[in-house]
Amino acid sequence: MIARLLFSLLCLGLLPAAHAATQPAMAEVSVPMKAIKVGTHSYFVQGLPGAASSANQGFMSNAGFVVTSDGVVVFDALASPPLAQKLVQVIRKITSQPIKRVIVSHYHADHYYGLQVFKALGAEIWAHRAGEGTTRSKDAAERFAQRKEALFPWVDETTRLLEADRYLAGDEDFEMGGVHFNLRYVGPAHSREDMVMMVKEDNVLYSGDLVFLGRIPFVGDADSRAWIASLDKLIEMKPRVLVPGHGGLTKSPKTDLVFTRDYLQFLRSQLGKSARNLIPFEKAYQSIDWSKYRKLPAFNEANRANAYNQYLRLEMETGL
């Protein structure tokens, strides 16, 4: 009887290991990732230049995390589960506090594909309700198919596109371990659901993709007029340090916020005149003096697409 009981317990002890062995192994990433401290509690990891590709293994956007005495708050989950797992390892080098909450700035692939790693650790996912259902959309399915091809094996059939556990109706303030967080809804801008996070004690602002530092932003068909208004809100917040969705941090936030705002205003002013005067896009684009922006990174990749999409939007705004 005792021997049988011991044998049963041994088998039960082996079951978890056997079950784990049947799970698909998560591909590891080899790209470097390190925590950059930007405040007493605040850190971020900086993605590499360029679009998502095998060269950067999808690590082309930033993520932040804030360490408190009661847990860790993460801002964005990166572009794949393996990248998120590496981010967890980076966090663990700094603190053993549990990762309690993940704030999703917006539901673009490079900012949320890693959510399942944090969910498995027990973290609660928060996002703005304008993003609800995005993962089940046709656009999300098409992007997922594209990412599985471009970023295999780091994005594959085991990657899960997770909805938030809690969708926020608007601004939200909360406290964790004596640190105060201000979440602000600033969409629609880069996306419908844009959220930013201010860490009050550090005066550090995580802006998501409202700000692209040192490069031409990806605007696409975003509502540039609303985006400009959102940037004005960020300027009024007067952060000491701003961590953007892409590129390095800035300790001169107003300068960089104004740069992005001015680029959007330039698109609207130049293309708006052409749209109102029924000038075809190609002729309008060629007539614009792009010299202020031409030498910036991502000009060739993003500027023409930005201009074309904004031209179409401005046509709609003018009722043409």
Dump pLDDT digits (tens) for 19-47: 333 345 789 999 999 999 999 999 999 99
- Which domains, and CATH codes, for the chain? 24-253 (3.60.15.10)
How confident is the model at residue 24, as a pLDDT?
54
Dump pLDDT digits (tens) for 228-240: 999 999 999 999 9
How confident is the model at residue 274, as a pLDDT?
93
Q: How confident is the model at residue 13 (pLDDT cuts 50, 70, 90)?
A: very low
Prediction pTM value: 0.86
Dump pLDDT digits (tens) for 90-100: 999 999 999 99
Spell out the SS3 assignment of 133-201: CHHHCHHHHHHHHHHHHHCCCCCCCCCCCCCCCEEECCCEEEEECCEEEEEEECCCCCCCCCEEEEECC
Dump pLDDT digits (tens) for 46-82: 999 878 899 999 999 999 999 999 999 999 999 999 9
Helix (H) or strand (E) holding 226: helix 224-237
